[in-house]
Structure 1
Amino acid sequence: MGYFGNGQAWRAIVLAWVLVWFGPAANLNAGTLISPGALDSIRKSAEPFGLFATRLSGGGLLEKWNGVEHKLEDEMVQLALCDGDRERCVSPAALQFLAIVDAARAREGRARFGEINRAINLAIKPMSDLAQYGQIDVWSSPLVTFTSGAGDCEDYAIAKMVALRMAGVSTEDIRLVVLRDVLRGEDHAVVLARLDGHWLTLDNRRLAMIEDIDVRNHRPLFVIGDSGVMRYDQQSPSASAAWQASAPAVAVNLAGAPISELASPIDVALSN
């Protein structure tokens, strides 16, 4: 038979693709063409918060992250040298950072994430960029942050991102996410790390790690990972029904967010 000779077979294929793309929002059961196990894999492969994200080709946030990556290239060389020869390492900040990485390497799974979240939260004193640098929004690399011993939310997040990588976590399973705190009216940066398909939040405001679907009163704006800097599509049909139901205040504010707010670099609040 030709390609068009079996209409039922082609309709089944088309239906399968529809279920693949829209499975998280669909009402699926054992009678569908996709097994529960396959559906679970589809859900686990999504970005944090179950939203689509579009890669940015320009803008202030992309420029800021490119600057951070340039600094990280130099710091990773220094960290690698110190990691290979601790006795000759002349950077106290590098040795302190590597001690956190060592402790994380000795643990597995959730305990590894928790070790990094706890240790970095306790190692850095919260301080605004204005107080530390005289500027509103400065993103610092880990050794700069550990040298000063102070930083704000994105400085914690960048340090955790690098520590996770050095501790052996795949870059595919690490994201830096910029959120809008709708209660405080300010932006906030955190790291999310994926374990067994679940995204756990490493936040400088708390030692406990919670899943993305349990985050309350925050609207995800941008996500940074191995695919670059991306902006969340807030109207994505793939948005997790559980997340939407758990954060009504966020959902209400999505439609009212101006494009200029979403496209501009974050203005991290002084209280971070």
Structure 2
Amino acid sequence: MGAFNISRPLRAIALAIGLTCLWPAVLNAGTLISPGTLDVIRKSAEPFGLFATRQSAGGLAEKWNGLARKLEDDMVQLALCDGDRERCVSAPALQFLAIVDVARGREGRARLGEINRAINLAIKATSDMAQHGQIDVWSPPLATFASGAGDCEDYAIAKFAALRMAGLSPEDLRIVVLRDQVRGEDHAAALARLDGHWLMLDNRRMAMIEDIDVKGHRPLFVIGDDGVMRYQEPPSVATLAGGTSAPATAVKFAVPVDVASRSN
């Protein structure tokens, strides 16, 4: 018909291109995007490039808040021992600091790899049920090093703390909970951002891999200094523009209310 009779799919493409070009103006105007959506957009730089929203309540948030207090105590004790090794009476702290010392002497990917390898070797993989007689116990690093055993989240927490002590910025450190679709269980790992790329420090492998290369896992939650966030489906282009549309084509993650008890 006429030159301006554009089909619906083409209109959607044109809208997407237009929003891409006008994105800074849209964000600054604040009229087309609600504050909640803006918070989601700001978190899209999280590992796996997926959107995430903050979780102020729920089982995982409560668990992390309880652990965070113990982790802070450990970091204080480690800092004191780091400043005066001769007076440090904590064997777990000295063992932990020995790993940090080696990592500090390296740069870039080698620093991350050293912490991943050394902590994987320092801790024996043991289920929470076998070690604590209960499921889903998250331990601070010094308790893990004192026992010499732990499961996936204990490795991740220890690496999270060691990377901080080795000089990485909190902005570049995360713990991620994923659903292992092959084993049918949840799994936790530490991730560190290097040169704009998120690398996974996993207790299941010595070699680090980039988040985009992780296969067979569904990201569920991401944890950092700001607390727990839950991965969500990104909003569709039409939704950002204030209109109505069919569901977005992005992958949907069926996220449980809390982390499953089986993890390693």
Q: TM-score range by the shorter chain?
A: 0.7 to 0.9
The 5 A counterparts of 1:1-272 are 15-18=20-23, 46-235=45-234, 254=252, 257=254, 261=256, 263-269=257-263, 272=264
Q: Find the aligned partners of 1:186 and 1:237 in 2 and give their Cα distance.
A: 30
Change (3 A) 1:61 1:120: same
Q: CA deviation at 1:87?
A: 1.0
Cα displacement string for residues 237-268 of structure 1 (whole angstroms, at most 9, x for unaligned residues): 69xxxxxxxxxxxx88x46x3x5x1x213423
Tell me the matched-pair count: 223
Q: Is the 8 A contact 1:174 1:192 kept in 2?
A: yes
Among all aligned residue pairs of Structure 1 and Structure 2, give the percentage whose two residues are the same amino acid.
Answer: 72
What amino acid sits opposite 1:265 in the alignment? V
1:176 maps to amino acid: I
Change (3 A) 1:20 1:107: farther
CA contact under 8 A between 1:61 and 1:266: conserved in structure 2? no
Shift of the 73–19 alpha-carbon distance from structure 1 to 2, 3 Å rule, reads: closer
Q: Deviations over 1:124-149 (max 9, x none)?
A: 00000000000011000000000000
Match in the other structure for 2:34:
none
Q: Structure 2 vs 1, CA of residues 237 and 99 (structure 1 numbering), >3 Å: closer, same or farther?
A: farther
- Ranges of 4+ aligned residues in structure 1 off by more than 3 Å: 12-15, 17-21, 234-238
Letter in 1 for 2:119: I
TM-score (norm 2): 0.78
Measure how far apart 1:191 and its partner are: 0.8
Kept in 2, the 8 Å contact 1:104–1:113? The answer is yes
Cα deviation for residue 14 of structure 1 reads 6.0
- Identify the residue that residue 38 of structure 1 maps to in structure 2: none
Q: How far apart, in 2, do the equivalents of 1:161 and 1:103 lie?
A: 16
Q: Which runs of 5+ in 1 are unaligned?
A: 1-11, 22-41, 239-250
The DSSP-based 3-state class of the residue aligned with 2:144 is helix
Measure how far apart 1:17 and its partner are. Answer: 3.5
CA distance in 2, matches of 1:199, 1:230: 17
